[in-house]
Every structure is written in C-alpha cells, then in structure tokens.
Structure 1
Amino acid sequence: MDEDYSAGSQDAEREMTRLWRTWRTVFEMLQDRGYEVTEEEVQIPLEQFKAKYSDPLGYPDRNKMKISARPTEAMLKKYTPLPSKTNPNPQPECGTIYVEFCPDVTGVGTKQIRAFNHFVDEQNFHTGIFISQTPISPSAVRLLSGIPGRFCEHFQEQDLLVNITRHELVPKHVLLSAEEKARLLERYRLKESQLPRIQVSDPVARYLGLRRGQVVKIIRKSETAGRVKQADCERASGYENATVETDQVGRPLPSVGPEFRSGQGRSGPELNEEITKALQTSNSAFQNAPTSLSSPHKLSSASGT
C-alpha cells in the first residue's frame, strides 16, 4: 500500500515538474511575442506552481491552467500596417491572446477544438493557443483555422518542454514592423517576392506566431571572425534560404554565396533536424532524471547537433 502511494507520489511529482517547464516556456513565448506578462509569471517557482495548479492528489489540474494577455504598445505598433489609399487609418492586426491547456489525455479532436473556437470567438480574443498532451486529429487541425478574423494555434506540451530559442544553435529572430520591412525593401532594392522564405512549420516561426507576409531579421555570428549574417525571411509555405551579410558596423558585404541561394543554409530543414535531435536528447535525459531539476530551460545534451 505504502509502495503504491510512494510510486503515485513520484509520478505526480514528475508530471508537475514537466508541466511547470512547459508553463514557463509558454510565458516566455508570450513575452517574446510582445504580450504583457510579468517577470513573476515567467519565473514562477516550482513549489508555487504546484500549490496553484495541482489537484488534491498532487497531479496537475489543467482545468485551472488558462492564460490571457494583452499586447504591449510596442507589439501594437509592430503589427500595424502602413497607411494606404484604401486604408488611411490602419488598425493593429493583433489583440488579446488566450491560452488553454486541454485536460483530456486521449481522444482530443473536433469536439474539444469546437469548444475552444467557440470560447475564443465568444470572448472576442484575437488569438488562441490550444495546448494538448497528445496530437490532435487532422480534421481538428483544419478546424482551428476556421474562425474568420481569429488566429488559432496548436502545440503539444512536449513541444514546449524546452524553449528552443534559448538553444545555442538557434540564432536570434527579430520581427520587423511594416515600416522596417518597407525600408528593407527600399534599401536593397528588392521586391517582396525576392525575399527569402521560411517554412510555416519552422519551430521558431511557430514559437513567434509568424504570419504570411511578415519579415523577421535573423542575426547570427559568422564562422569567419568579425562578420555577422543577417537574414530577412518572409514566412511562406515553401522554403528558400538566403542571407544579407553586413560587417560589424552594418555595411553590406559582397553578395551571398550559392550555398544559401540553393537552399542549403543551416537555418532551414537542417536546423530543424538539429533542434529535433536536441529536443529528443533533452526529453530522453529528462525521463531518466530526478524529479527536482534546477535548470528547466537548458538542454542537458546537444550531442550530434
């Protein structure tokens, strides 16, 4: 009897610790997107998380785990289109976000997504994030994008167990405003169709909630000392890799090499594979780790990446 209770207690402890890591990554993601979240919410201690979101048996109570956040002034400015003749007073294309953790372990499909969509629409949220423990059905995925004027996304808890943007292999991504995008096109004399593209399924594109037509600046250190490569990527369904190189004071360097033009740069599928391997290594290490972890966001191993 005591052995069963001890095993159950350890299972509850382990599940709470895993969910705490996911919870913190969600708040980091909201913060990185530009929503109003406090540092106390981002850095919530494990014991405080247990006290607030566990049931009487010590297991997570996902029915309590709901988040809403408003965009900051900086985010509103960044998501406001440029004025045009047809739209002289454009409004920000963002708003309050709602995050829900699904309590169902199995059978997550259209029933749960319909309820989620209804709540997002009824409460007039601009964006919704549905987080489940298991994959959802293909029909449920299609249903997520079925509300006009709303942006709904889906993540599995294990997708957010580690914040991939904190990994050393992932360069810094900075979303450009419409004004910054226009200046970029003018500076390099480019058409929008000539900009490099990033896959919709790219892990960082999903993390930042990028939409088609938005442009991000990717900043990384070059293997050649003293240079920084900046890639401006437009989200699209295909993948085409390129980069704009500058020196340390921002002067353009010679045009990019063919390895980027041909789509062989590491910021694409190859990087996705590296991140996936790192996450698998991290998850494997976590399964065998003690329940108390001191560094919830650092990958324990990145061998082979």
Structure 2
Amino acid sequence: AMEGLDRANRDDVSRMYRARKTMLKMMRARGYAVEFDDDEQDQVNWSLEAFLEHFGEDLNRRRLDFVSAKPEDVDDSIFVCFHDGEGKVSKNHIMEYVQKMQELKVKSGVLVSVGDLSPQGRDVIRDLTRTDFSLEHFKEEDVLIDITEHSLVPEHVVLTPRDKKALLDRYKLKLEQLPRILPEDPIARYFGLKRGQIVKVVRPSETAGRYVTYRVCL
C-alpha cells in the first residue's frame, strides 16, 4: 500500500501510524479500553499495512481520532484528537475540539498536533481547568515513540485511591513526605497524573529482584 506514495508522504503516513499507536498504548496504560467493537484485531498491534488498509487512500490526521472508555465506568471516557495541519493550533481550533467533546458527552480530551499551540490556544486550554472539561496537548514528535518502552524507564503503576490510602496508612505517611514527580514530567504527562496521585516505580534490582519506590504528583 505504501508503494504508491512518494517519500515525503511515506514519512508522513509513518508518523501518523506511530503517533496513533502510542496514543492507543497511552490510553490503555491509563485504564481505558482500546479494543473497538468493529475490529477484526487489536489496533494497538496493527502493522503499518493494516493501518493503511483500515484508513485507505483518503488518509488525514482528523480521521485518526478515537474515543475510549473505562471498562468499569463507561461514563469515564476520553477523546483523542489529531490536528490536521502543520501550523500553530489556534484558539478557534481548540474551541472546535471542545465543542466536539460536548457533542460526544466526553469531559476529557487529548490533542496531538504537529505544530505548537498558539498563545491564545494555550490560554483556552488553561481556562478549561475552571470548567468540567480538560484538554491535554502533546506534540506529535513527542509521541512517535512510547517513552515507557525505553529500556532505561522503569515500570510505573498509578495507584488507585484505595491503594493510595492503604500505602499512606501502612507507613503513616503524609503526601508531602514522598518523593515528587512534577505534573509536567514526561511520565506524569503520559499517565495523565493529577496532583495528589501516587505512582509506584518498580526497578529491577540485582539483590532484591525488584526495588519499589513511590512518587507523588505535586
């Protein structure tokens, strides 16, 4: 399917394929279901050929959008959208995505774009934090590879509220006593960590088999 494309197009298609694959994995890591009903197979493991076969000739970034829900709570859904175009993402573009979220009755969104946000676009996203809606932003170049698969990145597991309480009770800890992970840390952004959430970090250890630490997002 790639033969008919010139090199620039081939590179572009490859980037779309890789970015969408990372976003599917990212949502799965956050506990969202990324198996879609109409699938013959798991989209996360699609080959480039399967990706092209599914999206066909008329491939543009807007067609890569998807919505995922938490299996145990279908009301907790997230809309992942891909901005088509290389330029800055304007305030009006952001408003369009928020409108789409309203139509889909989804409160959380993640936007992936080739270009940066315009200052006004960034303001709109920041102002959303005062509403029921939230929109995260990733640049496409930052999601071409899945950072959690890098050999030097240890395994991270986000604690549920119940596990968080059990940990703090067991060790008689206050949140402030734990080592921190900043909200803008790439790993915190990958998991969509909110302030106050705790992540368990599991590293291989020569002596203990594995070495576990905890970090709080503050």
TM-score band w.r.t. shorter chain: 0.7 to 0.9
Normalised to the residue count of structure 2, the TM-score between the two structures is 0.87
Is 1:96 the counterpart of 2:65? The answer is no
Distance 1:8 1:40, change over 3 A: closer
Q: Which runs of 4+ in 1 moved over 4 A?
A: none
- What amino acid is the match of 1:113? I
Distance 1:138 1:132, change over 3 A: same
Equivalent pairs, count: 209
Distance 1:7 1:124, change over 3 A: closer
Is 1:37 the counterpart of 2:18? The answer is no
- What amino acid is the match of 1:230? V
CA distance in 1, matches of 2:163, 2:88: 44
Name the residue aligned to 1:195. 178
Name the residue aligned to 1:235. 217
CA distance in 2, matches of 1:208, 1:140: 23
CA offsets 1:92-145 (integer angstroms, 9 cap, x no match): 9x7111011111211322111111112213432021011101111233123114
* Aligned sequence identity (%): 31
Distance 1:41 1:7, change over 3 A: closer
Match of 1:174 among 157, 160, 174: 157
Q: Which has the higher contact order (CA 8 A, sep 6+)?
A: 2
**Secondary structure in 1 aligned to 2:201?**
strand
CA distance in 2, matches of 1:100, 1:127: 11
Which 5+ residue runs of structure 2 have no aligned equivalent?
36-40
Which 5+ residue runs of structure 1 have no aligned equivalent?
1-5, 77-91, 237-305
Name the residue aligned to 2:62. 63
**Secondary structure in 2 aligned to 1:200?**
coil
CA offsets 1:226-248 (integer angstroms, 9 cap, x no match): 25322211112xxxxxxxxxxxx
Name the residue aligned to 1:252. none
**Secondary structure in 2 aligned to 1:70?**
strand
Name the residue aligned to 1:280. none
**Secondary structure in 2 aligned to 1:96?**
strand
Match of 2:169 among 181, 186, 193: 186
CA distance in 1, matches of 2:81, 2:165: 36
Q: Which structure: greater strand fraction?
A: 2
